Amino acid sequence: MGRQRTPRTAAEPRRLRTAADMAKELPTPFRPLSDSPVLIDDEQRQLAACEAAIETLRVAFWAAGKALQIVRDARLYRTRYESFEEYCLDRWDMQRRYADRLIQAWPIAEALSPIGLKAVNEAQVRELVPLAGRYGNEAAVTVYRTVAEAEFVPLTASVLRGAVAAIGDAFSPAAAVEQVRRYLDSLGIEPAEPEGERVVDYTAKAADTIPRRWLSTLARQDRAAAVAYLDELERQVAQARRELAEADGGGGDGSPGGQRADEDALSA
């Protein structure tokens, strides 16, 4: 009769491989193993290990949020702590508010994973949380995919914030795509042209300074915030004038045409 395996006790939890384990396993010292333009087998293994470690940074908020929800909902903290909040603070030096944000974010990150997480980060996902809370994770995926597929538009948290604000009081995928596309068009982002071939329509640029649809949506939600945005825009224009004047040795560009273009953009 074979030897029976001794069952694990509660004091002997199975140890999982951690990011720290991955870091310790990376090779040192750092030196090339070959001069070949094609990586040899050992170098390919090193690259795979390094990229796996880098990947943990990109999806750390997703994994942490999911793990925190499991610990919270299953009360896995109960042996040593009276509450989940106490567990977060003592075990991870993490405020409960941040733990809750991670828990809100992970389902969206997981829903985005089939379309690729190459650029997604915690700040971007956080902008999608209110939309997902109202209409579900698929609504967040629709908005994210629409922005990601737009040409020349940076996939940033601020752009996603504006895209979410462009969604109306009701959600349908087709309508949402159109609303987000109109918002992105209002940003006036164009591909960079080679130096020497760039022709700038200053009047059109000034007219496109304010994303009007986004501003209208923001004003309906929070008029004070819309006014604050315009005040900040005026401050930025004044600062730009001062910087231009300093660059010109104090002369600046006070031409009526230039002033009028700025004023039209601000008052539109």
pTM for the whole structure: 0.58
Listed in sequence order, the residues at least 6 apart from 105 whose beta carbon sits closer than 8 Å to its beta carbon are 61, 62, 65, 122, 125, 126, 129
What pLDDT score was predicted for residue 99? 95
Give CA separation, 152 vs 184, 186, 188, 196, 212, in Å. 10, 13, 10, 20, 20
What pLDDT score was predicted for residue 84? 96
What pLDDT score was predicted for residue 256? 43
What pLDDT score was predicted for residue 59? 79
Residue 75 CA to residue 83 CA, distance in Å, equals 8
- Under 8 Å between Cβ of 210 and 235: no
What pLDDT score was predicted for residue 253? 46
Give the residue among 123, 169, 160 at the shortest CA–CA distance from 140: 160
Give CA separation, 13 vs 7, 9, 87, 222, in Å. 11, 7, 18, 51
**Phi and psi dihedrals of 9, rounded to 5?**
-100, 170
Give the residue among 173, 103, 169, 170 at the shortest CA–CA distance from 138: 173
What pLDDT score was predicted for residue 2? 47
Give the residue extent of every domain in the chain: 202-268
What pLDDT score was predicted for residue 116? 66
Listed in sequence order, the residues at least 6 apart from 74 whose beta carbon sits closer than 8 Å to its beta carbon are none
What pLDDT score was predicted for residue 218? 76
Helices (H) and strands (E) in the chain, counts: 13, 0
What pLDDT score was predicted for residue 176? 93
Residue 155's region, left for phi above 0, alpha for psi from -120 to 50, else beta, is: beta
What pLDDT score was predicted for residue 264? 44
Where would I find the H helices in 29-83? 41-58, 60-73
What pLDDT score was predicted for residue 164? 95
Residue-level pLDDT, tens digit, the chain, 268 residues: 444 444 545 555 566 667 777 778 877 767 778 888 888 888 888 888 888 888 777 778 999 999 999 999 999 999 999 999 999 999 999 999 999 999 999 999 999 887 765 667 889 999 999 999 999 999 999 999 999 988 888 889 999 999 999 998 888 999 999 999 999 998 887 765 555 555 556 666 666 667 777 777 778 888 888 888 888 888 888 888 888 887 776 544 444 444 444 444 444 4
